Each structure stands twice: as C-alpha cells, then as structure tokens.
Chains A and B, each alone.
Chain A
Amino acid sequence: MNSIEKNLLVQIADLHETPIGAYNIREDGAAAGRKSTANIEITTKTDKPGIDIRIKPHTKNESVHIPVIITKTGYTEIVYNDFYIGEGADVLIVAGCGIHNSGCDTSQHDGVHTFYLGRGSRVRYVEKHYGEGEGTGERIMNPNTIIYMEEGSYVELETAQIRGVDSTKRYTKIEASADCEVFVTERLLTHGKQTAVSEMDINMNGAGGKAKVVSRSVAQDESAQTFYPRMSGNAPCFGHVQCDSIIMGNAKVRSIPEIAANNVDAQLVHEAAIGRIAGDQLLKLMTLGLTSEEAEDKILSGFLK
C-alpha cells in the first residue's frame, strides 16, 4: 500500500496499521485485505458486488472495519454490504470511503449498507467520508444505510463528511420495533461548490422506542446543503430531531425536519436552526487571546466535534 492509500485509511478509519478484529479493505473494486474471526464471518457476495458480514449471537466487544478507498480517476462503483447482527451481540462497525482523485474524470462510490439487528443486539456504526486529490475530476459518494431493528436492539450511527467530497446524496432508513433505541449523529462540512443532500426516514414502529437525531453542518463558500430528516411515531415512543447549521460565505442551506405522529402516545420534537457565527462568539474568544481566524476555527471544530 502506498502513502496515498495509507493516508486515506487514516482519514476514514483512523487505521494506522492492520486493524484488530475482522476487516475487509476494498481498493478500487478489489479486495486489498480481509480477515474473519471466530465470531465474525465476512464473505463475498455472489450475485452483486459487495460482502456479507455475519456476526454470531452474543458476540461482545468485537469490531469490524470495512474501509473503501478509490485512487483511480474515473473509477465508479456500487457496492452492497449486508450486516447480520446476531441476538445479544454488541459490536463496533467502522466503515467509510476515501477517494483520492488526481485525474479529470469523476470517481464515485455508492455504498448500500443494510443492517439486520437481532433481538437485544447493540451496534455502533461509524462512517467517515473523505476526498482529496489535485485533479479536476469530481469525487462523489452516495451512501444508503438501511437498518432493520428487532425488539430491544440499539443502534448508534455516527456519520461524518468533512471536506473534499464534491457531491453526496445520503439516504438513511431505520425501521425500529419495540423497545429499540436509535441515536443518529451526522456531521457535515461542505466548501467550494460542493453539494450535499441528506434524507432520513426513521420509523418507530414498536412501543417503548426512543430515537434521537442530531445533525450539525457547516456550509462554506458557494456550497449547498439540504437536510430532510423524517421521523414517524407509529407506536408509543419518544423521538427528537435536531438540525443545526452554520452558514458562511455565499452558501445555501435548506433544513426540513418532519415529524409524524401516528399514535396518540408518540412524543416527537423537532428543532432546526440555521445561522452564521455570532459576532459575540468571535469577540468572546478574541478576548481570550485568539485571532478572529483562530476563533472561527475553534467554533467550527467544536460545533462539528
């Protein structure tokens, strides 16, 4: 693996060396490394590009890393990864895609990740997207994340795309049954002429479910973002959608949270705010010795932390 490829892995998965636990590294459409463990089996799909990840019931404190890197300009792909999480398992799954495009053709990765969470299982899913390269070719990523949750399961979804991706259309769908807990945290920074669209459908179908969506984004320069998180309470449940955006330069941000209660005991809340960095925030940090630029950087990095 060369230095460009190694850097992409550091950016998207904090991988400085071969990961501990199960892993599958995909590089320009080919397998660059794979390891299954006693409890986590990774196999190649036979009908379409992608892998199946099967985690045995009651597997605890294990992790799966499945980073994707693209370094060939003009390379595009659609990959289907399915995760079967056994009953009572508790695992960390780290995905993500890094594109280094040094050419003039579009490089694109569309990942369709489908999760089947068994009864009482817990998954923390971390996904980072990152783009770089001096070429004029676009870097495009369109992730689809579909999660089916059996009773009493728990999912924590952390997604981050900070700089470098020219266009993204993200779609997340979660179907939660009784006593499920859903936490979704989305972090996004666009700049230049980048565009980002994030849509979500979170359906709370069983009694006792809890869901919280926190979306924080920064739109700089001429970039444009649209957020459309939709949450439905179809049973007695609690749901909270919170979208905050900082807008800078000539950027544009649309935020359209939607909550739908289809049960009299569904308690749903949404909050959405878009605004520039407040002048008194900058001044406060400047009175602590930071320059205006340093203050802005602290405010943005804290906001997107």
Chain B
Amino acid sequence: MLNIRGLSYSVETDKGTQSILKNVDLDIDSGRFVVITGPNGSGKTTLAKAIMGLIKPDSGTISYNGADITGLSVTERAKLGISYGFQQPPRFKGLLVTDLLSIAAGRDMQEGEYCSYLTQVGLCTSDYLGREIDAALSGGELKRIEIATILARGASLMIFDEPEAGIDLWSFTRLTDTFRSIHQNTGATIIIISHQERIIRLADELVLISGGEITQRGSVESVLPQILDDTVPECAYIGEAAI
C-alpha cells in the first residue's frame, strides 16, 4: 500500500518560484495497476521521482506498506521493494547488459534467466547478452533494457516513466503484453506514467494530473471518456499514433 499525503514540490526559475506538485494526496492499494496521465509539465514524472526518492519534496509524506519512507534514501527505498524505470535511462561504458541485469537481480544469473527478461521486452537475446550499455545502443534498445532491469529486480512496486517512449510499434505490442503479464502473474503494484491509450486501457485505475494537482481518478471506463472529451484534437496529449 502506497500512501501519499500533502506532497508539494517547487523549483526556483527566472520567473520566481514555480509549483510542480501542489498538496497531492494519493493512495494506491497493493497489487493495483495504476496509470498516471496528464499533459506535459503537469508533474507526473516529479511525482514518480518523489516516490523513488530521486527528488526531495518541500512538504508532505510518503508511506509504503505502513512505513514512513519520506526521509529514506533511494537505496533504502530500493531495498524495500520500490523500483523505477527512467524515462531517459543513462548509458554505461564498459558495463554489459548482463552486468546491469545481475545488479538489478542482486545475483548472477544463468544465461536462460537473462534471456527470459530480454525476451519479455522484445529483444533478441543472443545479440544483447555481451553488449555494452553504451552509445552503440539505440534509444529504443536502451529503453527496453531499462524495462528488463525492473523485471529482473522483482520489486513489489514498479514505477515506469513513459516506458513506451522511443519504442517501435512491434515492440509496443509486446510491451503491453508484458505489463499485462506482470500484473497477472507477480502481484506487484504497477504505476505507469503514460500518454498511450493502449497502456491506459490496461489499468485498474487512471489518475489524471494537471497543473501539479490530481484532477480526476477512477476506473478507465469512467475517466478516459472525460479526458478524451476535454481534449482538443490539435493539442491531444493522449497518443494514438503508435497504437
């Protein structure tokens, strides 16, 4: 169970203080599949980073499974079972794909285990086991490896920040299957930040953030039509191009 209370975060800009999150309250039950959506700049990624501890909120609390984790480090939260897939994952010269998966799993694995994680994200495993995570990988490959590390981590709370960004159409279909499978088979709580309707439709619950505040939440059936009705076609943020 994830409980967020009164979470606020602001940054200093040339124009003064800008509020990114405004007194956000959010409860997510264990095992739920929640998609957070909203326009660019609405605070979605900031909220996800605050849960992982990658940014420190100005005020508010975050609890996970009854324990207050607001003051815990990223490492301590990871050890409690929270994981985070970066929107733009970093590259590592010299580290191999298998090294990163081993770090994620906390142990060395058999080749078959590495392969199973890579296959789930649509990578042909024999091409990737010995590859370095360097500039030779495309953005899409890097993103898929990032998702594979979250799978290998086996966390109880998996946060994915726009996992579809940079992934081609074929892999996108595989990706939605992967998320559905994780949800059905692992019991993990899944939070995905996404603009993609096909990912949104996988969710048990949809949360809409706008201007740093949660403006709507509920089942996909109840919330999505309202979002689509409110969206002007020329400036739609719900993406259908890759669907």
Q: For chain A, what secondary structure do more than half of its interface residues adopt (helix, strand, loop), or is it mixed?
A: helix
The range of chain A's interface size is 20 to 34
Query: In the complex, what residues of A have CB within 8 A of residue B90's CB?
Result: 278, 280-281, 284
Does A48 make an interface contact (CB < 8 A)? no
> What's the Cα separation between A303 and B133 when bound, in Å?
11
- Cβ contact of A291, chosen from B52, B75, B86, B104, cutoff 8 A: B75
The range of chain B's interface size is 20 to 34
Q: Is the CB of A302 within 8 A of B99?
A: yes
Q: Is the CB of B78 within 8 A of A288?
A: yes
- Most-contacted residue by chain B among A284, A285, A305 (CB, 10 A): A284
If A284-B86, A298-B103 touch, does A290 touch B75 (CB 8 Å cutoff)? Answer: yes
Q: Is the CB of A286 within 8 A of B78?
A: yes
Total contacts A-B at CB 8 Å: 59
Q: Is the CB of A302 within 8 A of B92?
A: yes
> What's the Cα separation between A216 and B92 when bound, in Å?
13
Q: Is the CB of A288 within 8 A of B149?
A: yes
Query: In the complex, what residues of A have CB within 8 A of residue B88's CB?
Result: 280
- Most-contacted residue by chain A among B86, B93, B96 (CB, 10 A): B93
Query: In the complex, what residues of A have CB within 8 A of residue B86's CB?
Result: 280, 284
Query: In the complex, what residues of B have CB within 8 A of residue A291's CB?
Result: 75
If A289-B75, A298-B103 touch, does A305 touch B94 (CB 8 Å cutoff)? Answer: yes
Q: Which residue of A lies closest to B152 (CB)?
A: A288
Q: Is the CB of B79 within 8 A of A289?
A: yes
Query: In the complex, what residues of B have CB within 8 A of residue A18's CB?
Result: none
Q: Is the CB of B95 within 8 A of A286?
A: no
Q: Is the CB of B75 within 8 A of A216?
A: no
Does B143 make an interface contact (CB < 8 A)? no
Query: 7 closest Cβ contacts across the A-B interface?
Result: A302-B95, A302-B94, A303-B94, A286-B74, A289-B78, A280-B90, A281-B90
With A286-B73, A298-B103 given, name 15 new contacts (CB 8 A). A280-B88, A280-B90, A281-B92, A283-B74, A284-B86, A284-B90, A287-B74, A288-B78, A288-B83, A289-B75, A292-B75, A299-B92, A299-B95, A303-B93, A305-B94
Q: Is the CB of A216 within 8 A of B78?
A: no
Minimum C-beta distance from A212 to chain B (A): 14
Interface string of B122-165 (1 = CB under 8 A from A): 00000000000000000000000000010001000000000000
> What's the Cα separation between A239 and B74 when bound, in Å?
43
Does A304 make an interface contact (CB < 8 A)? yes
What are 15 A-to-B residue pairs whose CB atoms are below 8 Å?
A216-B93, A280-B86, A280-B90, A285-B103, A286-B75, A287-B52, A287-B54, A287-B83, A290-B75, A290-B103, A298-B95, A299-B92, A302-B92, A302-B95, A303-B92
